[in-house]
Structure 1
């Protein structure tokens, strides 16, 4: 069982939740940009949340399925279609053998996720399926997907053809995920203060909290470069390099900001003004170049409560998806 890339996209890779524990060796965690969407994609098709998914950017690839397959698509909306039929996001669905999945139009969002029942049958590198492009390791041969690639996925004992109506290439199953709370107010990103926040001038602190910042076109999976008012420190002393993480907000020498993303370096020497809270990283991951960000400061207790609530929601979703899928296939 496999799917074949019949037209490559701009940057489509296999990713999971990342490889942890190797930062001391200079190897960043990597993984999906939107952990929430990737986990839900796996839940909808009955997978463990740590299974690999395809992270799709627009312009996106086209995929041919060589077997009847249960799939789900989550995250950004690229107007996904199976042959000539538009398919919904955040639903599980069965596609027939030889159906073609394509994404003809960008509606919103920065990336979407494709999961298949059983997961993709690829080897792990350092305990993760994620593609590390700089190292050329992990994922599918350590690179983005190209035309002609055949991605195998694990065999299933479920007879998915029985869920397809005669003459139909697609059957959308009757449940979906409500993501309203996770992506609410998409441009409002909360952060907690970083070590060098107090080094900003009062006026610069005010700019950061009151102004909007535009995501620069040069942004990528490593970091979002932001365009806004020049920010200044009271004392421009050099800093010793220290650890950084997904969501760290740094001040560049030109007075502009950069927010580190999934493929961030492991250490950095620029001032750390703040850290985007974990519960808002999914929103951040779905923003695109030219979108704006409005930063809002919060505290650690609030950040923890939001993350706990999000994780509790995911736990409930996983149990519900497993139960609905079991009832359907039985």
Structure 2
């Protein structure tokens, strides 16, 4: 059982929840830029949350399904089409063999995720399926997907052809996810104060909280460079390199900011002004170059409450998707 990449997209890779526990070796966690969308895609497709998915950017790929399959597409809206018919986002979809998935037009968001029932059959590296492009390891041969790549997916016991109506190329199943609360106020990004926040001059602290920052075109999976009012520190002392994480906000020597993303380095010597709360990483991951960010400072308890609420919703969703699929099969 497999699919074939007929035409590659801008940057298509296999990702999962990331590989943790190797930062002391200089190996970052990596994983999906939008962990919420990737996890929900898996749940809709009947997988565990941490299963491997395809992370797609626009322009997207053209994908030939060589077998009937249950898939889901979440995250950014790139107007997915199966042959010439539009597909919905955030819903499970049964697709017929010998159909082609492609993406017609960018509507919103920066990246989307394709999950397939059973998951992609790729070899793990250090306990994760995620592609580490720097190390050329993980995912599919440690690289972006190319024309002609054939990706196998694991066998399953569901007879998906029985769910397809005659003459139809796909069938949308009757449950979906309401994700609007997760991505509401997309340009408002909450953060907690970093170790060097109080090193900022008082006026720069105000500028950080009151001004908008624009995502620079030279932004990628390693970090989002921001353009805005130059911020200043009280003292220009050098810092010892220390640990950083997905969402760390660093102050560069020119007074501009960079927000570290999924493929960030494991340590850094720039001042850590703040840390984007985990619950807002999905919103941040769907912003594009030239989009604006308005930072809002929250305390640790608020950050934990936001993440706990998001995780509880995922647990409920996992049970609901499991029950729906079991009812359908039975």
TM-score, normalized by the shorter chain, greater than 0.5: yes
Q: Secondary structure at the match of 1:213?
A: strand
Unaligned runs of 5+ in 2: none
Identify the residue that residue 97 of structure 1 maps to in structure 2.
97
Aligned partner of 1:78 in structure 2 is 78
User: How many angstroms does 1:102 deviate by?
Assistant: 0.4
Equivalent residue of 1:5, what SS?
Answer: strand
In the alignment, which residue of structure 1 is the partner of 2:45? 45
Three-state SS of the structure 1 residue aligned to 2:181 is coil
The reply to whether residue 120 of structure 1 matches residue 120 of structure 2 is yes
Q: Residue deviations 1:215-246, cap 9 Å, x none?
A: 00000000000000000001010000000000
Per-residue CA deviation, residues 65-98 of structure 1 (Å, 9 max, x unaligned), is 0000000000000000101110110000000000
- How high is the TM-score relative to the length of structure 2? 1.00
Q: Deviations along 1:124-155, whole A, 9 cap, x unmatched?
A: 00000000000000000000000000000001
Helix, strand or coil: the match of 1:250?
Answer: strand
Q: Hey, what's the Cα distance between the residues in 2 that align with 1:59 and 1:87?
A: 17
- 1:9 and 2:9 correspond: yes
> What is the number of residues matched between the two proteins?
330
Written as runs of structure 1 = structure 2, the 5 A alignment for 1:206-217 is 206-217=206-217
Per the alignment, residue 316 of structure 2 pairs with 316
1 CA distance for matches of 2:155 and 2:128? 21
Q: Counterpart of 1:129?
A: 129
Shift of 1:26: 0.2
Q: What is the alpha-carbon distance in structure 1 between the residues aligned to residue 49 and residue 159 of structure 2?
A: 22
Q: Distance in 1 between matches of 2:315 and 2:49?
A: 11
SS at match of 1:118: coil
TM, length-normalised to structure 1: 1.00
SS in 2 for 1:41: helix
3-state SS of 1:182 partner: helix
The whole-number CA distance in structure 2 between the counterparts of 1:51 and 1:278 is 20
The residue number in structure 1 matching 2:233 is: 233
Question: Helix, strand or coil: the match of 2:258?
Answer: strand
Give the secondary structure class of the aligned counterpart of 1:295.
strand
Mapping of 1:140-289 within 5 angstroms?
140-289=140-289
The 1-side partners of 2:93 and 2:131 are apart by 26
Distance (whole Å) between structure 2 residues aligned to residue 83 and residue 175 of structure 1? 23
Distance 1:329 1:101 in 2: 25
Distance in 2 between the 1:90 and 1:215 partners?
Answer: 27
